[in-house]
Chain A
Amino acid sequence: MTKFTQLQSALTKNFQELISNVHILRGNELHFQIARGCALKLAQILNADFNAELRLMVANDRRADKGVFEIHYLFVNDKENWYAHATKDLSHDDPTIDSMATFYYPASRFEREIHDLFGIGAIDHPDTRPLVSHAFWPKDYFPLRKDSIVPEKFNDDGTPFEFMPVGGEGVYEIPVGPVHAGIIEPGHFRFSVVGETVIDLKIRLYFTHKGTEKLFEGRAPADGVELAERISGDTTIGHSLAYCQAVESLAGCEVPARAKYLRVILLEMERLYNHIADFGAICNDTGFAAAHSHCFRIRERLLRLNKRLTGNRLLRGGIILGGVGRDFPSDLNLAAELDSILADFNEIVEISLNNTMLTDRLDGAGYLTTKTATDHGVLGYVARASGIDVDVRRDHPFAAYSSLNFNVAKSVKGDVHARAQIRVDEASESVSIIKQALTQLPQGELVAPLGKLPAWEPAFGMVEGWRGAILHWVMADDNGKLYRVKVKDPSFVNWPALSFALLKNIVPDFPLVNKSFNQSYSGNDL
């Protein structure tokens, strides 16, 4: 790959012996080891000259076998479909990294996450507040360290979380949550408001931190699938596919062609039912309940199809390592069902979007500028509605997407209307993709054998889930068990952008803007 030659020479020129062990894996991944102090410069060079963005930071406790902590940086180039994977070793007694928070905002969040879970401090980090850990975690408790012991008792020391105070005449605070009136997950929202206008919103999450990444550790790879399916209840296929692709990539396992097409069908079914339900929910938050109940009815039709496809309404069990869990049911005419469902949905969309009272609520609400969206590295429909043209299905084709034709929906309006419209457009595309996959569906095996996982090798899988790009990063130990799994749901980068989308909006529009984002709490909190 010529790009890697350029990149390699740029790395040699800028870093010389600070970069070592440069090697290409799987054709489009450049892996290398970096010494201390180069991460920021590396990120700047990759960003400015090579158009590659930092998408993931993974910390790893390898004190037992290697005597160090590792930090892995994954840079992704979307235009040319390649990855740069940098690994840095940190000393075991006083692990710290140099912060690149001021260069790239998501790095700030990754560094805070790593601090809370590993006790690896980021030097010169502008925001030293905890991210994952809440006040009742003991100060020296870092759960993802291999030798950490779960405290017998968690005591809340009563220290309030430091929200940035907002002052001025007539400014008051509205604290909302973490327990809400509807059946939704917990999150604390603190609004600073003048009259009804929001001048600041701070979001405090991680109330549903379940130690998901820790739960992966020590499992056999096949046992990780059902855990991945449950990372976020509405993203069964997205997460399990990203996990399986990471493990398959590590094992060098080639998934059979038929399974690849079936994976596409499952992933698009998941996108379809979520987008349709979301459209209804957005309408419901404007008080237009009729659209909601009809979208819910259509969602139910889709869930019943899901059940026929996988035996589970939320598609659990659909994806397994090396392939898919079930063959396509021979008695199901999915194309006809989906045509009817899409026509049904489009009718609801037409009625809703022709209602000017409804579109008046959607237009201009929750405006996320392209600049803010880029700065936050947002993903999925939130990005595409704000003029960022990203889609893993097209940029880094996985499963059978390289042989399917589809458009990536986009808009530059950046408001609630745009995010609703993207969902509508993507629903049509999903149906088209599934129909193409059905006509092209080849005969053959459903599962390929996996083989033993190579030890201490990093590998990752990326999937365009319905919310956006999902990344799973895996490493196995000497016994072929999972040593470390890092999960990144798009919610991790999209949540903070919500605060900015809400600025200058009025308080009663928050639920609507929030619904148009519809980020996962569970997928973010892990």
Chain B
Amino acid sequence: MTGYLLEFSQALLALLLAPMLAGFVRWVKARLQNRRGAPIWQPYFELAKLFGKDVVMSNNASWLFRVAPYIVFASALAVTFLIPLIAAPLPFDNIGDLLVVVYLLLLGTFFLALAGLDTGTAFGGMGSSREMTVAAIAEPTIALSIFSLALGAGSTNLSHIVVATLTNPGVALSPGHLLAFAAIFIVSLAETGRLPVDNPSTHLELTMIHEAMILEYSGRYLALIEWASWLKLTIFFALLANLFVPWGLATALTPAALAIAVVTLILKLAILGVVVAVVETRIAKLRLFRVPELLGMSFVLALLAVTSSFLLK
């Protein structure tokens, strides 16, 4: 029973933390750019504003356009039940392993792309086509890098991987782990629509990827999609943090361990947030046709990670 309670509180935590994480990254970026920046809780206000607004919808929008935000949000939320955020192992571990996580994330992307095409606007189609190009290279890379961890742990179950690293801390510095970390870091920038792949703060319709797909959305639909994309950012950061540096995760369900776990999770997310903000400030956006090169590189890293994990096993 406590296990299930834990599952729900972990999902709730991710849901509540996600907007603040996005706001934090924005705030750090603003500071690095010599701006004052909006407060880190600005995304909560944005959600409240959007949920309070009416939905304006194109006459050409079909049912797909209306259900897509729910699917996108639900798939991201479902993932938060399956990944070790504050404790491992979890009761839902047996429901889904890393393959389920990867494909749940892809499900959201897929429906978002369909919704982008649905209204028939030029920008939506453009965004969907670009998003699919990125996703087609990014998704296998995530799966592959996690496989390299799975090889070491002997299981594709995320909790098992975490526990294996905790019991044998040396593997955290193995080449397989380090390469996989680099690969997932690059992919998470692409998947969450950040520089150098996509610019989350641009107003230039023609350069957008993620934002172009959701241009037609407004009101609560937009709120759900925004929230889901912040959730996705949190999920990727949490995967990076907890799969590779699992210390701090509660292995026993005591209040003290859980409290430590929550604090360390927030710390890890904040550190990654600062790293991403610094990276985004230092680099420019890649020319679109260079993006596959970057993602190709991350795929090669993932491949090397798997190979080295296999050879060093």
Show the binding face of A for B, using Cβ within 8 Å. Answer: 172-176, 180-182, 196, 283, 285-290, 292-294, 297, 355, 357-358, 360-361, 365, 506-511
Q: Quick check: A174 and B122 within 8 Å, CB to CB?
A: yes
Q: Which residues of A contact B34 (CB under 8 A)?
A: 290, 293-294, 297
Q: Which residues of A contact B152 (CB under 8 A)?
A: none
Q: Which residues of B contact A297 (CB under 8 A)?
A: 34
- Measured between alpha carbons, how far is A182 from B206 in the docked complex, in Å? 12
In the complex, B288 has a CB within 8 A of chain A:
yes
Q: Quick check: B207 and A511 within 8 Å, CB to CB?
A: yes
Q: Quick check: B204 and A287 within 8 Å, CB to CB?
A: no
Do A360 and B287 form a contact, CB below 8 Å, given A175-B122, A290-B34? yes
Do A287 and B285 form a contact, CB below 8 Å, given A174-B126, A182-B204? yes
Q: Quick check: B202 and A506 within 8 Å, CB to CB?
A: no
Cβ contacts A to B, 12 pairs, < 8 Å: A172-B122, A174-B123, A175-B122, A181-B204, A286-B284, A287-B199, A288-B284, A293-B35, A357-B283, A357-B286, A358-B284, A507-B126
Q: Which residues of B contact A286 (CB under 8 A)?
A: 284-285
Q: Quick check: A506 and B288 within 8 Å, CB to CB?
A: yes
Q: Quick check: A289 and B201 within 8 Å, CB to CB?
A: yes
- Measured between alpha carbons, how far is A216 from B32 in the docked complex, in Å? 48
Q: Closest A residue to B200 by CB, please name it.
A: A287
Q: Quick check: B206 and A290 within 8 Å, CB to CB?
A: no
Q: Which residues of A contact B290 (CB under 8 A)?
A: 360
Q: Closest A residue to B290 by CB, please name it.
A: A360
Q: Quick check: B206 and A287 within 8 Å, CB to CB?
A: no
- Measured between alpha carbons, how far is A365 from B288 in the docked complex, in Å? 13
- Measured between alpha carbons, how far is A507 from B208 in the docked complex, in Å? 10
Q: Closest A residue to B198 by CB, please name it.
A: A287
Q: Quick check: B289 and A289 within 8 Å, CB to CB?
A: no
- Measured between alpha carbons, how far is A173 from B282 in the docked complex, in Å? 35
- Measured between alpha carbons, how far is A355 from B282 in the docked complex, in Å? 8
In the complex, B176 has a CB within 8 A of chain A:
no
Q: Min CB distance, B96 to chain A, in Å?
A: 35
Show the binding face of B for A, using Cβ within 8 Å. Answer: 29, 32-35, 122-123, 126, 195-196, 199, 201-207, 280-290
Q: Which residues of A contact B123 (CB under 8 A)?
A: 174
Q: Which residues of A contact B122 (CB under 8 A)?
A: 172-176
- Measured between alpha carbons, how far is A176 from B126 in the docked complex, in Å? 12
Q: Min CB distance, B287 to chain A, in Å?
A: 6
Do A285 and B204 form a contact, CB below 8 Å, given A174-B126, A360-B287, A361-B285? yes
Q: Which residues of B contact A509 (CB under 8 A)?
A: 287-288
Q: Which residues of B contact A361 (CB under 8 A)?
A: 284-287
Q: Which residues of B contact A176 (CB under 8 A)?
A: 122, 205-206
Q: Closest B residue to A288 by CB, please name it.
A: B284
Q: Closest A residue to B211 by CB, please name it.
A: A181
- Measured between alpha carbons, how far is A87 from B203 in the docked complex, in Å? 48
Q: Closest A residue to B204 by CB, please name it.
A: A511
Q: Which residues of B contact A175 (CB under 8 A)?
A: 122
Q: Which of B35, B204, B282 has the most CB of A within 10 A?
A: B204
Q: Quick check: B206 and A511 within 8 Å, CB to CB?
A: yes
Q: Quick check: B288 and A508 within 8 Å, CB to CB?
A: yes
Q: Which residues of B contact A287 (CB under 8 A)?
A: 195-196, 199, 202, 280, 283-285
Choose one: B35, B199, B284; the contact of A355 (CB below 8 Å): B284
Q: Min CB distance, B136 to chain A, in Å?
A: 15
Q: Which residues of A contact B288 (CB under 8 A)?
A: 196, 506, 508-509
- Measured between alpha carbons, how far is A509 from B123 in the docked complex, in Å? 15
Q: Min CB distance, A184 to chain B, in Å?
A: 9
- Measured between alpha carbons, how far is A289 from B33 in the docked complex, in Å? 7
